Every structure is written in C-alpha cells, then in structure tokens.
Structure 1
Amino acid sequence: MLTDGLIIVGASLLVSLLYLGHAYDPQTIQQINLCVPLYWGAALMTRTYSIQALTSLRFSQARSMLAMAIALTMLIFIAFFTRSSEQFSRVSTVGSLFVIACIMAWARAMAQPLIRSSCGPTAQNVLVIDDGGSPVRVPHAWHIDTREHRLRPDRSDPHMLDRLGMFLTNMDRVIVTCPQERRKDWALVFKGSNICGEIVDPEVQELGVLGAGRGNGFGSLVVSVGPLGLRARAVKRVMDLSIAGGAILALAPLLMVVALLIWLEDRGPVFFLQQRQGRNNRLFWIYKFRSMRVEKLDASGTRSASRDDDRITRTGRFIRRSSIDELPQLLNVLRGDMSIVGPRPHAIGSLAGQKRFWEVDPRYLLRHSLKPGLTGLAQIRGLRGATDSEQDLASRLQADLEYLDGWTAVRDMKIIFATFAVLVHDRAF
C-alpha cells in the first residue's frame, strides 16, 4: 500500500513538472490528496492486497488497474458534484494516471521474485500434522509426525497443549490427518487456537463435498449447489431465446428447402425424433432432420453412424456433413429443453466401445446439471462423431466438465463464433 501511494504521489508530481513546469502545483496537490485515499479504498475492495495478489502477478496487475479505474471514476464523480472539474488539468490527470498504471505494473513485476523468495510460492505458512490418518502431502508446507514429536491432542494436559501451541504459532493453515476417534479432540484444539484448522476426511474427496451446513439439530455435507445461479440462468435463457428466435427467422428459407428435399427423396417424415437425456437427468424428444432411411432408423442410438453407413440417404449425407441436420434443435432451445451452448445430449442407448456412457466414468452424470446444447466446448475442439472407444467419450466428458466450471456469457459467445469454423468436419457421417 505504501509503495502504491508513493507511486501515485511521485508520478503525479513528475507529470506536473513536465507538463505544467512546476511539480508542486495546487491542482496537482489537490489531485494527489483525493487520488491516494480513493485508490487505497478501491484496492482494498478489489482484493489488490490479498494473498492471491502476492502469488499471482497477472492477478495483482489486473486488480491494481481495476482499483485505479474505480478511483478515477470516483474522482470524476466528486469533481462533477463539487463543481471543481475545471480546476483539474485533463491532460495532466490522464497523463498521471497512465504513468501511474505503467509504474505500478512494472513495480509488481519487479517485486514478484522478492515475494516468492521471502514468502514462498503460496505466501502462506501451512503445517500438515500426521496423527496416523490417511497420508497427505501438501506442496510447500511443513510436515510433522505426532509420533516422532510425541504430540497428542490431550485437552486435559496444559503442557501438551502448550507444546502444540508452539507448533501452531504463526501458521496460516493447519491440516491434521488422524483416525476418526481423535477428530473431535483435534477439532477442539483448533477451536481454541487462532488459526485456520482443517481435519482430513477421505469421504470429502470421494463425495466431492463443497462445504458443510448446520442447523435444525443436524449437520450436513454440501455436495452440490448447481453450476449457475438465478441471475446467470436468466441471462443464459435470454441469450438462448434471442439467438434461437433470430436464427429460425433468418434460416427459414433454408429449413424449408431441406425439408422439401428430404420428403421428395423417399416421401418419408421430415423430422427424426429421438429421446435424449437433458438437465436433471430428464428425458426429452430432440428434433433433427431425418438423414436415414425410414425402415432403418435407430431410435435408441445404439449404433453410431459410420463413414459408409448404408442407412444414410443422399440428402442425409449432405446435411449431416454440413451439420444442417442439427438445425431443428433450435425448436428445442425455444421450448426450453436445450440451450445454444452446453454439453451435447446423447441418446440413452449410446455406447463407448462396449459400455454405456455412464459405465465408462461415474462423472458422466455431472454434465446433466446444465441444459444440453446445440454446440459446446467439446464440439469446437473437434471431439465429435462416433464414440468407438472409451477414450473418445473420456475426451468429450473432460471438455464438458471444463465448461461446467465457471459459466460466463462471454465464453458462450466465443464458443458460438468458434462453432462456425467446425460446421463441416471429417467426422460427420
């Protein structure tokens, strides 16, 4: 904080000297008196001085720039409402802010090696206590064995608690691994210490626990909170409706021509309906343009299409290779069964090698926490077509799980634009 304050003062005086001819201009001093506290306040709110800012140069530089932008906005707000904006030189103010931003970014880059050498890669003091539980190794942490140091969580022995306190002093985080019968004792020891204490429980990893809850006379482990909050779901739905509705109107002539070609070839139905698994593991009917002969349709999806598949019609071969057969799914988006971007829905009879999809990896069901999509992260990476092996599914599942980890509207738009580059692909048959 002190360094940032000195940078603001020094840069402002330097620009004032170069532009106005003298450093200690009254306007510059007034600007400094406002800018320094405003920046410090914004920096504290934006975690510019957090542990993560110490360990991540990119995070530190980005947050300092954000804090400076907030300080500038507040400075303009104050100057406007106090009718003192004409007292500030716009060139001097903008120039000062530019120089300040450059010096702050440079200073953080120079300080990063010093911080790493003095505070370590994590900038935290972490202690792992092995009291006979599951083996745990934490990088850049101290590890001690209670048997070697003759330590035990004995609440009735003040001298033992004093010895434990010596080990816990100056620790930001303490992790203990112990048998279940000693967890309560360690918990009470931690509660009486001014530290962040944690007790290793193997079931937390197995269940994918996100947190814990207490109330109404019982405790619980939080294992799921859903990937999207209410606001994010509303934004995503508005995007889906606007994009799908606009696309149907724009593509209406193409859709009618394709429907006519399908019907003229064999006088069969235009659409192919198949049950797929969607959000909350619910089944829904997905719409596609029919690309196979009526008598050879595979409603369960047990057999994936191959390159020389005799079931595919001439029109079907073209619309599958160009992904036009997927366009009727825009109706599924309007109905709310699907989204524009999300994990692709699979037929319930689909196989990866000789196994059902959910038999290959138990995490497969996690992809059903969001609505399935017309396109997704796996599709723009070229992970499409038949799943001839378990690895084919594993690669797609990894991409789907990556997509679930932190949704943003910007990333959805990037995936939509990237999809246009893979509409025609060599695995579409």
Structure 2
Amino acid sequence: MNVIHPIDARIGFTPLLVRDKKVTRLHCYFLLALSDVAAIGISFVVANYLVSLTAATPIEHGFIMLGAILPLFAIQAGTNGTYGAATLDDANLGARRAARALTIAGAVVLLIAYMLKASAAFSRGVFAIGFVASFVLLIVARKLLRPRIARMLAGSAHTTIVILDQVAYQPQECEIILTAGDLGFDPETNDPRAYHDLSHAIAHADRMIVACSPNRASAWAPVLRTLAVDGEILTDVSDKVGAIGMRRLGDRRTLIINYGPMTFSSRAMKRMFDIAFSIGAILILSPILLGTAIAIRWESRGPVFFRQERIGRGNRIFRIFKFRSMYAHATDEHGATLTQIGDARVTRVGGFIRRTSIDELPQLFNVLKGDMSIVGPRPHALAAKAADLLYWDVDTRYRQRHVIKPGMTGLAQVRGFRGNTHHVEDLTNRLQADLEYVATWSLQHDLAIIFQTMNVMRHSNAY
C-alpha cells in the first residue's frame, strides 16, 4: 500500500549536499575556448605583421586567413569533443583534440585557397608561420591553464555519488559516500515520495554508483533506469540486470544500467527552445488566457487555477498549473477519481475548456519555470490508475519515462493515446510511445509533434 505524504515533508537531504559541477564545467569550457581563440588569433596577426615587414606594401593575408580558420576550428572542435567533460579530466586528451581540430581547419583553408586559386590573397609565409605558431601556442596555453582548471574542478570534472547498501567499500578520491540507510530509501518501494526524496538527495550528481550485494542488484537496476544521471552498479553479480555497458571504479568493474538520456548540449538546446516558445505562446495567447480566467470566475467561486502534484524529471514532484474546470469544492487534488461523461463536478466553462484543451494552457508557465517542457511524456497525478492499478504497478518500465522533463504534449498524445485510462492497454500504449520518444529525441522530432498537436487539440476523450 502506498502512503502519500505532504510534499517535501520527509526530505532529509537537499541539493546543497552535492556540488553542481555543470556550471563549473561551462566556465572551464569558456576559459579553454578563449585560450584557443587567443592562441590562433595572436599567431596569425603576428605572422601577418612579420611578413609585412619584408613586403613592399602592407598586406592583410593573416586577417583573411584568421577569418576563415577560426570558424572552421570552432566547428571541428565542437564536434570532436574538444570541449567535453572527458577532456577536463584528461588535459592531454583535450590538447590532442584541439590540435586535431586546428589541423583539419588548416587543411580545409589550404584546400579552399587551392580550389579558388586565391594566390593573390594567400601568403604561404603568413599561413606557415601562423599555423605553426597556433599549434604551439594552443598546446602551451592549455598546459599553463591545467593547474587553474584542476583547482576549479576540485579534482574531478564529475560529481560521483556512491550509495552503499550493506556492503564494505573503500572510498576513491573525490567521491561522495552515502548509505541506503542514510537516505532512508528502499529500492523495492513504490512510494513516489521516496523516489522524490532520492532525486533531491542526488541532485546535481553526474554519476550515481550503487555498491550492493548480488542479490540486491536486481532491485536497484530499475531504480537507476528512472534517474536522469549515469547509473551504475558495483557488484560481483553477472549481468542479469540488463546492463548496457561496463566501466571501472578503481580496480573493480561497474555495470552501467543507465546513461543520462540527453547530453548537456541537447538539454540546453531543448531548454532554450522551451523558453522562446513558451514566452511567444503566452504573449500570443494572452487574450484567450485572460478571457478564460474571467469566464471561470464569472461562473463559479474559487481560484482560477487548479494546482495538482505531478511526477516530473528524475521522479521529482512538482505542482502543475491548469485552468480550474470543476467546482472548487469538488476538485480532486490527487487525481484518484477519473472524470466521467456528464460529470457533475465539471462546470459549463470547464467542459468547454477541457474539450478544446484550453485548460492545459497555463502549463506554459510550468515550462517557463523549468518544471516541464513543451514536448515530452505527459506528467501524471500521483494517484492515477489504470484498471484500478496504480500506474507503476501496471508496468515495471513506467518510471523510465521520468528520465526527461514531462511535456505539454507528446508522441503518445498525437497518436491518440490520451484521456482516461480505464484499461491496462490505455496506459501501456501511452507508455510505449513515451519510451520511444525518450530513445529517439531530436529537436526536429519535437517540432513535428508540435505541428501534429494542432490536429488533436479538440478530442472526444476529454470530458
């Protein structure tokens, strides 16, 4: 039996426990990129100056080359992982990738000059001096920055949490050690509050490793698949838990159960799109938002908005905004009772805004706040059921949909899997679409789903 407690009432750990290194990594990337640009820029400017000393007339070959090689270097460095977390932990790897990016950019510039026969604006001397100097300065500058970056990262580019579950463990450097007892978390629980607390306890972590006995591995594996961090199990068990890879931790191996489903750059791209889209939508739809609010207050007493707890990214619980569509005294805070055709709790205005999906528009503020995305798996109420079973009791994969932010619309909705879940199939069809979306995310896919949503704004399953 699942007991629903007041939100945050049992949280013993806060995000302050774990240092968020994502922002620190960004600062390091910026510092390295600035150093690389400066090395290349100074080299070609100086090369231009030195060659100009022997030229009959002033030349600008170095500036032309710089304008060509810098964008090419940036593109190559951005795609080959020059500014990646792995290069922060291994400075030599970062230098090699930066040098490779510069070499490819230089080769492309030479090819372009050859194809265009641009000998009049291309000095071999300027290019040779500028390229060699760039190569040397780039590596030297990165070597000089190595101590500073190490201090900024405090020993590691990643935050690693190791959770001990009744086993002995020798801590490695730069690890945060917690015990399952400290967390108060039982991996066999189905309580959404317990998952919410766990998410807060590991907030800002990049890597979560569970050190447990073999007989506990099968209980922890499903938990790790629901979290938005790299999840691994440190155990001597053979792979019977669906591992997708292996890593090393000291002299022992870990079984990789889950990779964070989206890279940092993908999350940043999706977030920027969400902010831009939600602000634009709020401005464009403001007459509808205001008119709906007035109509709700005119018909019945009570608040304009209905707020309900839903499960979000990483199993964190948040409060969703919707226009109130029921009489205030009849609203269902936990979503335990499904709305029926002709439901007496629904007002006349409420019936209209539910059929036309207008009641969902205030979720644009959830998107702007960062609790939701425009596109993603729809967030469900904590007490929602399918055929009298709580959703997570229907399918063991259910919580895997929580590895990304929930959305206002999603692949399941545009495929017609929306409305009440009277039967088990109503949930499993929706879940299958949600997991497919998680596995195949792209910004182009999001745009396609948004356009398809226009065709299903009004639907017969809403009442």
- TM-score w.r.t. length of structure 2: 0.50
Task: Give the counterpart of 1:260 among 283, 294, 297.
Answer: 294
Task: Give the counterpart of 1:294 among 328, 352, 355.
Answer: 328
Q: 1:272 to 1:226 in 2, by over 3 A?
A: same
Q: 1:215 to 1:304 in 2, by over 3 A?
A: same
CA shift for structure 1 position 420: 0.5
Matched, 1:321 2:359: no
**Residue equivalent to 2:118:** 83
**Residue equivalent to 1:354:** 388
Q: Distance in 2 between matches of 1:331 and 1:352?
A: 28
**Residue equivalent to 1:219:** 253
CA shift for structure 1 position 246: 0.5
Find the structure with the greater CA-based Rg. Answer: 1
CA shift for structure 1 position 406: 2.5
Q: 1:76 to 1:252 in 2, by over 3 A?
A: farther
Q: Distance in 1 between matches of 2:426 and 2:396?
A: 15
Q: Distance in 2 between matches of 1:306 and 1:235?
A: 39
Aligned-residue Cα RMSD (Å) equals 2.5
- TM-score w.r.t. length of structure 1: 0.54
**Residue equivalent to 1:398:** 432
Q: How does 1:305-316 map to 2 (within 5 A)?
A: 305-316=339-350
CA shift for structure 1 position 396: 0.2
Q: Deviations over 1:61-113 (max 9, x none)?
A: xxxxxxxxxxxx9897244553389xxxxxxxxxxxxxxxxxxxxxxxxxxxx
**Residue equivalent to 1:209:** 243
Q: Distance in 2 between matches of 1:373 and 1:239?
A: 13
**Residue equivalent to 1:94:** none
Q: Deviations over 1:257-302 (max 9, x none)?
A: 0000000001221000000000110100000000011111100001
Q: Distance in 1 between matches of 2:119 and 2:298?
A: 76
2:321 aligns to what SS in structure 1? Answer: strand
Contact 1:245 1:334 in 2 (8 A): yes
Q: Deviations over 1:146-190 (max 9, x none)?
A: xxxxxxxxxxxxxxxxxxxxxxxxxxxxxxxxxxxxxxxxxxxxx
**Residue equivalent to 2:456:** 422
Q: Distance in 1 between matches of 2:413 and 2:266?
A: 23
Q: Distance in 2 between matches of 1:241 and 1:326?
A: 17
Deviating beyond 3 angstroms after TM superposition, the runs of 4 or more aligned structure 1 residues are 73-76, 78-82, 201-204
Q: Distance in 2 between matches of 1:75 and 1:312?
A: 71
Q: Distance in 2 between matches of 1:377 and 1:253?
A: 28
Contact 2:301 2:328 in 1 (8 A): no
Task: Give the counterpart of 1:235 among 266, 269, 276.
Answer: 269
Q: 1:304 to 1:217 in 2, by over 3 A?
A: same
Q: Distance in 2 between matches of 1:277 and 1:410?
A: 26
* Amino acid across the alignment from 1:351: K
* Amino acid across the alignment from 1:427: N
Q: Distance in 1 between matches of 2:427 and 2:109?
A: 51
**Residue equivalent to 1:283:** 317
Q: Distance in 2 between matches of 1:203 and 1:272?
A: 49
Q: 1:361 to 1:317 in 2, by over 3 A?
A: same
Higher relative contact order at CA 8 Å, sep ≥6: structure 1 or structure 2?
Answer: 2
Q: Distance in 1 between matches of 2:459 and 2:238?
A: 43
Contact 2:304 2:323 in 1 (8 A): yes
* Amino acid across the alignment from 1:301: G
Q: Distance in 2 between matches of 1:277 and 1:382?
A: 22
1:242 aligns to what SS in structure 2? Answer: helix
Q: Deviations over 1:110-146 (max 9, x none)?
A: xxxxxxxxxxxxxxxxxxxxxxxxxxxxxxxxxxxxx
Q: How does 1:98-137 map to 2 (within 5 A)?
A: none
* Amino acid across the alignment from 2:313: R
Contact 1:227 1:406 in 2 (8 A): no
1:259 aligns to what SS in structure 2? Answer: helix
2:335 aligns to what SS in structure 1? Answer: coil
Contact 2:334 2:382 in 1 (8 A): yes
CA shift for structure 1 position 208: 2.7
Q: Distance in 1 between matches of 2:400 and 2:449?
A: 20
Aligned length: 245
* Amino acid across the alignment from 2:244: L
2:258 aligns to what SS in structure 1? Answer: coil
Q: 1:384 to 1:75 in 2, by over 3 A?
A: farther
1:362 aligns to what SS in structure 2? Answer: coil
Q: Deviations over 1:7-40 (max 9, x none)?
A: xxxxxxxxxxxxxxxxxxxxxxxxxxxxxxxxxx
What stretches of structure 2 of length at least 5 have no aligned partner? 1-107, 121-235
In percent, how many aligned pairs have the same letter? 49
Contact 2:246 2:255 in 1 (8 A): yes
Q: 1:84 to 1:347 in 2, by over 3 A?
A: same
Matched, 1:330 2:361: no
* Amino acid across the alignment from 2:329: E
